[in-house]
Amino acid sequence: MTVLAIANQKGGVGKTTTAINLGAALAALEHRVLLVDCDPQGNASRGLDVDRDEPNLYQVLLDDAPLAAAVRRTALPCLDVLPADRELVGVEIEFVGEPGWRQILRRRLAPARGEYELILLDCPPSLGHLTVGALNAADGVLVPLQCEYFALEGVSELVQTVGRIASSSNPGLAIAGILLTMYDERTNLARDVATEIRRHFRSKVFETVVPRNVRLAEAPSHGMAILQYDIKSRGAEAYLALAREYLERAA
């Protein structure tokens, strides 16, 4: 069983879209997946139309609720969600000074290790306590990267953070892959950024590229993954291809 953090401190790069749709694609390929919504905005929970009321991740982290009581089923038989809501922002305050706070999420997820083949952690757009806790719970990091001018600057900071955590508190942590998102092949900028990222990170970059796709953007408003909303769309094709590529790399 692998725990994969989906992280980038820059917002709007497709983290939650990737968490939802990679999870759904892996579930469609009959792999048992738990998606943990680590973002107080709760977008991954809303995007799969699951109940965010208590108990949720906040109660699990505070040890007020067992993991099994907080996990919600989805319409996809192999995909479950551990939801979050706004009260999760309290972790940023309550974990300050707490002994071993970096390992709390890892410990709370331990009961799920025999139940799922993959746990996906949808991280907030910051490098605060929630993201650091997720990185300490993870075996690898998937970095969604929008094809724009400032992309490399942001991902370089995350790579440094991953390196620091790997050398201090989670020795097994590594970049599992970089995913190019919101790619528009019609623009020179997107092509140039993609070329530069592949030159800089080489084999770490997935061959699969997620295009800009209206259907992909519409799906969360209906509480559906793209495979449920429009399986014939380019977005659905991309995330199915990503799931297969990820499984090949992990084999």
Q: For 233-236, which contacts have Cβ atoms below 8 Å and span 24 or more sequence positions?
A: 235/21, 235/210, 235/211, 236/21
Q: Encode pLDDT of 177-222 as tens digits.
A: 999 999 988 888 889 889 988 998 999 999 999 999 999 999 999 9
Helices 151-168 and 129-137, packing angle to 10 deg: 60
Question: How many angstroms separate the CA atoms of 213 and 217, rounded?
Answer: 7
Both tokens of residue 9?
């401190």
Q: Give the pLDDT score at 193.
A: 87
Average pLDDT, the chain: 93
Q: Give the pLDDT score at 213.
A: 93
Q: Give the pLDDT score at 200.
A: 87
Number of separate domains in the chain? 1
The CATH number given to whatever domain includes residue 153 is 3.40.50.300
Query: At residue 158, does pLDDT exceed 90?
Result: no
| Domain residue limits at 10 | 2-250
Query: At residue 66, does pLDDT exceed 80?
Result: yes
Q: Give the pLDDT score at 205.
A: 96
Of 57-61, 68-72, 191-195, give the lowest mean pLDDT range: 191-195
The pLDDT-based confidence of 16 (bands split at 50, 70, 90) is: very high
Helices 151-168 and 188-201, packing angle to 10 deg: 20
Q: Give the pLDDT score at 9.
A: 87
Of 27 and 250, the structure prediction assigns the larger pLDDT to 27
Q: Give the pLDDT score at 251.
A: 82
The pLDDT-based confidence of 19 (bands split at 50, 70, 90) is: very high
Q: Give the pLDDT score at 63.
A: 83
pTM comes to 0.96
- Phi and psi at 147, nearest 5°, equal -80, 80
Q: Encode pLDDT of 74-130 as tens digits.
A: 999 999 999 999 999 988 888 877 788 999 999 999 999 889 999 999 999 988 899
Query: At residue 32, does pLDDT exceed 80?
Result: yes
Q: Encode pLDDT of 165-176 as tens digits.
A: 999 999 999 999
